[in-house]
Amino acid sequence: MAAAVCVVGVSSSCAACNLRCSPIGRSQVAAGRLDLSTSLFLDSSSSCCSKRALFSPKQRKKMKKKKLSIAGKGGFGGQYEDSYEDVKSQIVDYFTYKAVRTVLNQLYEMNPPQYRWFYNYIASNEHGYGKTFIRELVKEKLELAERVMVTRLHLYGRWIKKCDHVEMYERISDQNLELMRERLIETVIWPSDDTNTEVVG
């Protein structure tokens, strides 16, 4: 539990052995100095929870060679060195979706017959809003496909100007902290208050 709380940057004590956790600062992450080894979570001065007390000599030797990292290749997260192509394609697909909705709203106001056609086309869409969607739309209605492509580029350009990466990082960090607090509150057993109970007799 102490390690989990430390991950979100809160210093706390371990109930079992008075362990003091060393919280992770944002400056460490920003400077690229975040090391996910066990030493982040365990205070070396603690006698009962030091690496020496928790792990056998064989395990300590393995730990020196291998540090904890985010899921490896083929895992869910990938390594930090990965290109995040999946994230990039999700962003492109999302802006295609936003562009389709924008064009649909414009057609509703200006061109009801074309709106009805496009609405039915979207309703019958089974491929999501990726490259295949645009490719099929080009074959059906070139002018609509071009309009969607121009609109998604425009929307992305507007988003890039407004996107604050520091704010996004802080939002994720704050959400992590909030979720950990919620879980901690759920797991705490509160003492029952018997002072207000009346004895009937």
My answer on whether 65 and 13 are in the same domain is yes
pLDDT tens track for 163-180: 999 999 999 999 999 999
Residue-level pLDDT at 195? 62
DSSP helix/strand/coil, 13: strand
Residue 95 has pLDDT above 50, yes or no: yes
Q: Does a structural domain hold residue 34?
A: yes
My answer on whether 57 and 99 are in the same domain is no
Q: Does a structural domain hold residue 199?
A: no
Q: Residue 152: enclosing H or E segment and its boundaries?
A: helix 142-162
Lowest average pLDDT, out of 10-24, 58-72, 181-195, goes to 10-24
Residue-level pLDDT at 127? 78
Residue-level pLDDT at 154? 96
My answer on whether 77 and 140 are in the same domain is no
Total tally of structural domains belonging to the chain: 2
Q: Does a structural domain hold residue 200?
A: no
The pTM for the full model equals 0.53
My answer on whether 117 and 48 are in the same domain is no
Computed over every residue of the chain, the mean pLDDT equals 73
25, 34, 121, 180 from 30: Cα distances, Å: 9, 8, 46, 22
Q: Does a structural domain hold residue 191?
A: no
My answer on whether 12 and 69 are in the same domain is yes
pLDDT tens track for 110-119: 999 999 999 9
Q: Does a structural domain hold residue 46?
A: yes
C-alpha to C-alpha distance for 103 and 142, rounded to whole angstroms: 14
Residue 105 has pLDDT above 50, yes or no: yes
My answer on whether 52 and 105 are in the same domain is no
Task: Give yes or no for a contact between 46 and 21, defined as CB atoms under 8 angstroms apart.
Answer: no
User: Which of 58, 81, 104 marks a domain boundary?
Assistant: 81
Lowest average pLDDT, out of 52-66, 103-117, 143-157, goes to 52-66
My answer on whether 66 and 108 are in the same domain is no
C-alpha to C-alpha distance for 170 and 192, rounded to whole angstroms: 37
The owner of tokens 């009937």 is 200
Residue-level pLDDT at 83? 82
Residue-level pLDDT at 174? 96
User: Which of 18, 49, 81 marks a domain boundary?
Assistant: 81
Residue 10 has pLDDT above 60, yes or no: no
Structural domain including 152 reads 85-162
pLDDT tens track for 123-154: 998 878 889 999 999 999 999 999 999 999 99
User: Rounded to 5 degrees, what angle do the CA atoms 68, 88, 37 make?
Assistant: 10
My answer on whether 153 and 134 are in the same domain is yes
Read off the pLDDT of each residue in 29-37 and give the average, rounded to a whole number.
44
Read off the pLDDT of each residue in 40-69 and give the average, rounded to a whole number.
50
Q: Which of 41, 43, 48, 28 is nearest to 68 (CA)?
A: 41
